[in-house]
Structure 1
Amino acid sequence: MIRETPQEFLDILKSYVPDPNRPVGLARQEFSEFLTEFQSDERPETEAVAIREDLRGVWCSVAGGVPDRTLLFFHGGFFSVGSTADHLGFCAELARATRSRVFSVDYRLAPEHPFPAAAEDALEAYRFLAKHGYPPHRIIPVGISAGGTLVIDLLLSLREQHLLMPPAAVCLSPVVDLSSGRDIAKKGRESDWLTLARLAAIRTQYLAYSDPEDPRASPVHANLSGLPRLYIQAGSGELMYDDISAFAGKAKWAGVQVRFEIWEGMFHFWQIFGKQVPEARDALARVGIFARETFER
């Protein structure tokens, strides 16, 4: 589980960080090509459905999946890039590891749709599943990077609206603090491909004029009581490791059952790079164990 991170591959990742000054369409195309190149070559069977006129979900299935097990998946991409299409290899591995069907959401992206549009879409997707016969106790929300933030946003919205919760949720390298208060603590961390400059750009693009300490933008500031079981993964080399650790600690103090795993030397979003990083496959295997344990309770 603990191996040395290849510096050469980390340098490649740093060269692919989306440039906020490039045209949005071009940045999304380049990021999509980059993700597709480095993740698993496996592709699931897919079926796209309309959640709403401007919101799409994609069913991703592999052989051996249990029909009544649903992972509600939110992709990564810094809230401004990324899609189901460029996470299909990851969705296939996720479905196989958990023996479930994955329902991936193409939520609205910034800057065209700034905060809280993506958070609203997460709740809409959950409501869609419930409306179409997928009971909450057979759903596990899963998100990576920005998608991990949306998982937490979803849980907070469900609690506030007194709706039935899923039994558990999975957050992989979630972005839990977009306020600027912790930036000084992050300086000097060279073991990640996410930079302070990129984090500042995310704040600008995604938040626009919203309060960065809004609990849905920065869940570390939220009241976390009443949330279901959380499984959280973070790499010790992540720029946001301190934030994720603080969030996990706060959730525990609020009475939430938290399984927090620290992956030594890993960088942000490492779980998706299954072709280059052995720890990515190990991490998904651990997600599979957690999900199967939850569904079999």
Structure 2
Amino acid sequence: MSRRLRLLLWLSRRFARRQIARVPDPLPLRPMFDRLARRLFRVPPYTLVGEAALAPGLPALIVSNRPGTHPVRPRKAVLYLHGGAFVAGHPSAFVAMLARIARLTRCEVFVPDYRLAPEHPFPAAVEDARTAWDGLIARGYRPGDIVIGGDSAGGNLALGLLAALLDDRIRPAGLFAFSPVTDLTFSGATIATNAARDAVLPAARRDDLMGFYLQGARADDPRASPLLADFPDPPPVFLQYAATEILADDSRRMAAKLRAPGGEVVLDEWPDAPHVWVLFDGILPEARQALIRVAGFVNTLFDEDQAGASAPATR
């Protein structure tokens, strides 16, 4: 463990978790997170950030790198759903980390600005995730051209989107998620066993979060808790999380769920790190290492697809 990671863990446990635990209303979290992102997260040079509308009323950012230095793969994309506990977060706060993914994978990354609770409770964000997917298809991408990604609450939306697509017999190239919350009934054992170890998320706020997001909807609705959904013939999935997180069991149980029907899952467990530590790329060496692992997963998916497309037909 690097000294920077030790320091970040100490600061997170001493200040960030306490701040999140004290905030009575989710709205102040939005400017707080945006200020943190502007101060800490540095966009790599030669990054291109554009704006697009994936559908009427659903704006998005497109993150890529200058074609002269890091040419993008033709017709390959990442659809990324950002985190923020369903109540906070904005695509711009994730540009620095996603620019690194774009550089390492040579993909364009689309980040929709989906609707947030409590103004827009469940299932608004779920609907926007599907609308974003349909928008990419309307732009000419095939399902096998798209890898879905997300972190935390965005990981929940990503996995929920995957379940909905598979139910419609649509199979993306794959999916990756950083510290996803997969079970809004919070039945995983680590919700309790890691309550004192998690560096960021206070377990005591889970009921408040559900009040802001679900607003009376059932937590065991598979659209809200993808762990309870069905995943027939899932594509390859990469799940990355820390063993000390209260959500550690969300990834472990999701891996078992996806493997049951024959799915290929990479379960990338780290001994100790803050929730979604990849955001600290450029600050933590562990963040860069984690992103390299994810990019390797994405590159394998697309490299195999391109090799198959260029191979001679066989009988």
TM-score (norm 1): 0.92
Residue 234 of structure 2 is aligned to residue 227 of structure 1? yes
Listed one character per residue, the Cα deviations across residues 108-136 of structure 1 (whole Å, up to 9, x for unaligned) are 10011111111111111111111111111
Contact between 2:195 and 2:246, CA under 8 Å: does it hold in 1?
no
Contact 2:21 2:202 in 1 (8 A): no
Moved more, 223-232 or 108-117: 223-232
Q: Does the alignment pair 1:213 with 2:244?
A: no
- 1:33-52 paired onto structure 2 within 5 Å: 33-42=35-44, 44-52=47-55
Residue 5 of structure 1, CA deviation: 3.5
The offset of 1:9, in angstroms, is 3.2
In 2: Cα distance, 1:19 partner to 1:91 partner: 30
Q: Indicate whether 1:146 and 2:147 are aligned.
A: no
State the SS of the aligned residue for 1:171. strand
Structure 1 segment 68-147 matched on structure 2, within 5 A: 68-147=75-154
Q: Secondary structure at the match of 1:17?
A: helix
Deviation at 1:21, TM superposition (A): 2.1
Identify the range of structure 1 (46-55 vs 91-100) with the bigger mean alpha-carbon deviation: 46-55
Q: Could you tell me whether the CA contact under 8 Å between 2:86 and 2:213 is conserved in 1?
A: yes
Higher alpha-carbon deviation: 96-105 or 186-195: 186-195
Secondary structure of 1:96's partner? helix
Gapped regions of structure 1 (runs ≥ 5): none
* Corresponding residue for residue 58 of structure 1: 61
Q: Any conservation in 1 of the 2:188–2:247 contact (CA below 8 Å)?
A: no
2:174 to 151, 168, 178: 168
**Alignment size in residue pairs:** 295
Calculate percent identity across the aligned residue pairs: 33
Aligned AA for 1:251? L
User: In the alignment, residue 5 of structure 1 is paired with which amino acid?
Assistant: R
Shift of 1:269: 1.2
> What letter matches 1:32 in structure 2?
D
Native 8 Å contact 1:61 1:95 kept in 2:
yes
What are the superposed Cα offsets for residues 178-232 of structure 1, whole Å, 9 maximum, x if unpaired?
Answer: 1143466345432321011232222111111111011121122222332211111
Cα pair 2:82 2:94 within 8 Å, conserved: yes
Q: What's the counterpart of residue 296 of structure 1?
A: 303
* Offset of residue 260 of structure 1: 0.8
Q: Structure 1 residues 275, 12: closer, same or farther in 2, change over 3 A?
A: farther
Q: Which moved more, 1:273-282 or 1:93-102?
A: 273-282
Per the TM alignment, residue 234 of structure 1 is displaced from its structure 2 partner at its CA by 1.2
- Please tell me whether Structure 1 or Structure 2 has the larger radius of gyration of its CA atoms: 2
Q: Name the TM-score, length of structure 2 as normaliser.
A: 0.87
CA contact (8 A) 1:36 1:87 kept: no
**Quick one: distance in 2 between partners of 1:214 and 1:239?**
21
- Map of 2:251 onto structure 1: 244
Aligned-pair distance for 1:50? 1.6
Contact 1:186-1:240 at 8 Å conserved across structures: no
In structure 2, the residue corresponding to 1:296 is in which secondary structure?
Answer: helix
| Equivalent residues of 1:2, 1:263 under 8 A apart | no
